[in-house]
Every structure is written in structure tokens, then in C-alpha cells.
Structure 1
Amino acid sequence: MKILMSNDDGVHAPGLLALYHALSTIAEVMVVAPSNEQSGCASSLTISTPLYTHELESGFIAVNGSPADCVYLALHEIYRHTDFDCVITGINSGANLGQDVLFSGTFGAALTAQLFGLPAIATSLVGGGVKGTGQEQVSHYKVAANEILKLLTETPILDACKNLPYHVLNVNIPDVDSADAIKGRKITALSHSEIARPVHHVVDPRGRDAYWLSLRKRQRTLSSELSSELSAENVDARTSSIEMTDDQAVAAGYISLSPVRLHHTPTETLDTLSALVL
């Protein structure tokens, strides 16, 4: 099996390294990742300036571009003669839950692979980069990487992904000290959470207005919102078999597996708009 990996935290990120070492036990893994952090760049492509590559001693290839650039370049130039079985991105430092997938570079890189017909899985460690530092943080990524490895080896998920064109499997793993703290896996729907403070206004040392954009959500408690969040507003009636949304699953200690379909125009929407007199 051949796997292409990328991320948005940069080629030296601990999540990328942990996942590479885990997947290397079952596959030939090639890594093409941004030379520096590219969080929040979604599936943007660099088309106005050239891209440059640099091969590290590890064999990883660093690119001065976005995660989508890395996958695009890898598939069509760097490894154009390689037939990859799948593309796996991450492990992202922090959650990619709900509407965050619209902005995530980790998800955007997986999306780019799927556009060219490759099964794609985006992986994230919920809380990664926030709790603990140094060796403790690395150990958490190793736990998450081993869970991804078990997902690929103990379940038929990869074969299922191969039969789902234009889908990305978005995986979020709880940030825990050991695998014993993970209760299992849940197939989930994307949630939608209110952003606590979308823009932070500050004044820089030179007296100029500056702005930080944020996707941080309001704090929520699972016990008080579990029933209401599963209402029709959040989970479509046609997906009523879904027990939880992605954020609820992770909060309850489960690995969240959310299939996200792209480039899909709902038939009912077409019917509704077609009935209009335009």
C-alpha cells in the first residue's frame, strides 16, 4: 500500500511525524507538507507565484505553499508516476469540527486529493497543541496515530472510502493520555457551533489597529445539550440514524468519523429554484 501524507501545521509538526511512523508499519508513506504553518488556508492554491521544494534528511519534502499546493504538486509532479491508495492528512493540532472544515488546511488538502479521485482522510487531535508541552504532547499524538492505524487495519473503512466519490472522511480524536480513555468510534454528522468571538481587535505597539480572526467556539456541556443538538436543526431527518454530531462524540470520549460530501447540489434545491420565475 502507498500513502501520501500532508498537513497544515508544517513539515516538522509532531502530529505529522507521529502519523508517519505509525502508518509506515503498514505502508510505503511519502510526505509532502508545507515548509511552515498554513492553518486556516482551506484548499487555496498558489497560482501567482512559483512553488519551491526542499527534501529533508527524513525524506520528507517541504513546499513553500499551502497544504492543497502540496497534494496538487505531489500528485501531478513529484510523485506523478506513483499510484497512491489514499491520501491522509494531519494529525492536525486542534479540532476540525463542524463548520471548521470549510477553513481547515488539513481538510483542504484531503479535499484536493478527492478531487482527483483518491480516497482521502483528514485527521485531527481535539485539543492538540493546547494541553501540555514537549514530551507529553508528543505522547498524545502517538496515541492518536495508533488509533488511526487501528482504524485502517481493523475496519474496512478504506475500502468504503474508495467507493464514495467526492467524499472526505473527517476524523477527530479525543486528546487523551492513553487509548484506554477512548470509548470507541462513532459515525457522526458535522455540527454547527456559534463562534464565541469571531474577531479580536488589538492595538499594536505602534498604535495601529490590528485584528485576529478566531474560530473558537462557545463552551458547551454535553449533558445539557445532547438531546437538543440532535434536533432537526442540526441533523437532517434523512440522517436520523446518526446518534451524535462530531463535537458531541468527541466530548463523550469517542473518535468521530464524519463523511463529508463535496460538490453536491441537492435535487430538492434544484426543484425549488427551478419552480421560480426568474
Structure 2
Amino acid sequence: MRILCTNDDGIHAPGLKIVEEIARALSEDVWVVAPELDQSGVSHSLSLNDPLRLREVGPRHFAVRGTPTDCVIMGARHILGETMPDLVLSGVNKGRNVAEDVVYSGTIAGALEGTILGIPSFALSQEFSMETRSAPLWETALKFGPPILRKVIDAGVPKNTVINVNFPACAPDDVAGVRVTRQGKRNLGFLKVDERRDGRGNPYFWIGFERLAQVDVPTEGTDLAALAARCVSVTPLRLDRTDDEFSQALTATLK
């Protein structure tokens, strides 16, 4: 099995080494194509107006000056030649990708692009807490990643589905189980705009995050609830975003 690994944290991110270890637990034919620079939050952006620069950093390891989407396309359509990958693994992201994160995440986007190309694809993310922010518990992803991937692959990944896996912020022995979940929704009050001044007194802005005074209780069955319970969350995400229920209502309304 040929596996293509990518991420959005960049070619030197520690999580990329973790996803490569997970891949090597499944196969010896592993290729890494990752962004030259951190591309967190770029979502499913594709470079159309700027050229892509490719750099070989080691055997079967390449850096692309572009987005995770660019990396998967370059890997599958150019670097690997005529033999397409059998599996795409994107991650392991430093930080969870749940709820609305799936819209912004470059990690999710890498797996989405693999799915669009017809390749079974997984997005892998390691949650961290305030205590483990500087040193996420990568061993949790290492322990649970390979067996989960094997089971999902054996079950058969549907053609237009991405598998989003999030590992909880606890040691492997403290993981309470594995749950199949749906995408959650949370209070986005943690988003903030930080205004500052440059050396000439002109304003500039950072979009940032702050801790909420009170965190909402996550809805049972969601990715948020699974991580809160110290469970690995496995969420199948579909490429088709059509709202079938509202489509039926609109059809009746617009007749």
C-alpha cells in the first residue's frame, strides 16, 4: 500500500513525524509532501496565481511552497509519477479539528483533496490542553492511530467521505474508548480581534482566540463530547454539503 502524508503545520512540524510513524505501521511505501511554511487555517485553498516551488528535503520527503491542497495534488499527480497513492494521511495536527474547525482547517483540506482525487483519506489531529500545549501527548495518536486506520480501511471508506480522527489530550492509558461521532457545534465567542499599532502608529489586527469564562456542555454524540470524555473521535465527513431537507422545502416554495 502506497501512502501519501501531508499536513498544514509545515514540513518541520513534529506532528508530521508522528503521521509518518503511523503510516509506517501500515506500509513501507510512505511518501511525505508537506508545506514549506505553516499553513494552518488556510482551509481548502488552491494556488492558482502563484507558482509552486518544490524542494526535496530527503528520500521521499518533499516541501512545497504552497497549501496542503497543493501538496496533495503535487504528490499524487507529479511526485509519485504514474503510481497514485492508495491512502492519504493528513496531520497529525497540533490541536484538535472538530466542530467549525473542519471549515477552516488545512489538515482537513489535505484529506479532502485526497478524497476528491478518489483516494481514501484521513485527517488526524492531537488535542492538547493548557498543560500539554508545549508538549502534546503524541503517544496517544501513535498508539491509537494505526489500529483505528486498519479497522476503518477494512470496513471500506465510501468514495466521497473523509475520515476525521481526533485524539484526546490525555495519556494513552487514560483514553476511555473510541467513538464514532458527528460534527459538533460550539460557541464561537472565543474568537477575538486584537488591534495593535505599528512603529508609525498605524493600526493592524490579529485574529486570535481567548478562553471562555464558561464552556458550553457539548451535545452527546458529537466530536466535542467524545474528546471531553477522553475518547478518540472518528467522524465521517461527506464532500456533498447539500442540505437535502431544506432543498425539499425550497422546491415546494419555488414552484
**Common fold by TM > 0.5:** yes
Query: What whole-Å deviation, never above 9, does each CA across 1:147-188 have from its counterpart, x for those lacking one?
Result: 1112124x2x013343x1211111110122x31011110011
**Partner residue of 1:267?**
244
**Partner residue of 1:61?**
62
From the superposition, tell whether residues 215 and 192 of structure 1 become closer, same or farther in structure 2 (CA, over 3 Å). farther
2:20 and 2:153 map into 1 onto residues whose CA distance is 17
Query: What whole-Å deviation, never above 9, does each CA across 1:245-271 have from its counterpart, x for those lacking one?
Result: 101101111000011112242433322
Instruction: Give the counterpart letter for 2:191 in structure 1.
Output: P
**Partner residue of 1:21?**
21
1:195–1:215 contact (8 Å) kept in structure 2 = no
**Partner residue of 2:193?**
200
1:45 and 1:183 map into 2 onto residues whose CA distance is 38
From the superposition, tell whether residues 195 and 16 of structure 1 become closer, same or farther in structure 2 (CA, over 3 Å). same
1:19 and 1:57 map into 2 onto residues whose CA distance is 16
2:179–2:233 contact (8 Å) kept in structure 1 = yes
2:194 and 2:209 map into 1 onto residues whose CA distance is 14
Give the match's secondary structure for 1:186: strand
Structure 1 residue 16, shift from structure 2 partner: 0.8
1:158 counterpart (147, 153, 161): 153
Give the match's secondary structure for 2:17: helix
2:165 is the alignment partner of 1:171: yes
Give the match's secondary structure for 1:23: helix
**Partner residue of 2:47?**
46
2:42 and 2:244 map into 1 onto residues whose CA distance is 30
1:215 and 1:201 map into 2 onto residues whose CA distance is 9
1:12 and 1:103 map into 2 onto residues whose CA distance is 21
Instruction: Give the counterpart letter for 1:192 in structure 2.
Output: K
2:169–2:230 contact (8 Å) kept in structure 1 = no
**Partner residue of 2:123?**
122
1:125 and 1:21 map into 2 onto residues whose CA distance is 14
1:85–1:119 contact (8 Å) kept in structure 2 = yes
2:141 counterpart (144, 147, 150): 144
Structure 1 residue 26, shift from structure 2 partner: 2.5
**Partner residue of 1:70?**
71
Structure 1 residue 95, shift from structure 2 partner: 1.0
Greater displacement, 211-220 / 101-110? 211-220
**Partner residue of 2:9?**
9
In the comparison of the two structures, how many residue pairs are matched? 253
TM-score normalized by structure 2?
A: 0.90
2:31 and 2:215 map into 1 onto residues whose CA distance is 40
Query: What whole-Å deviation, never above 9, does each CA across 1:208-260 have from its counterpart, x for those lacking one?
Result: 222222366746568xx36xx34xxxxxxxxxxxxx21011011110000111
Give the match's secondary structure for 1:256: strand
Instruction: Give the counterpart letter for 2:36 in structure 1.
Output: S
Give the match's secondary structure for 1:106: helix
2:192–2:210 contact (8 Å) kept in structure 1 = no
**Partner residue of 1:91?**
92
**Partner residue of 1:239?**
none
**Partner residue of 2:108?**
107
Structure 2 unmatched runs, 5+: none
Instruction: Give the counterpart letter for 1:14 in structure 2.
Output: P
Structure 1 residue 99, shift from structure 2 partner: 1.0
1:100–1:215 contact (8 Å) kept in structure 2 = no
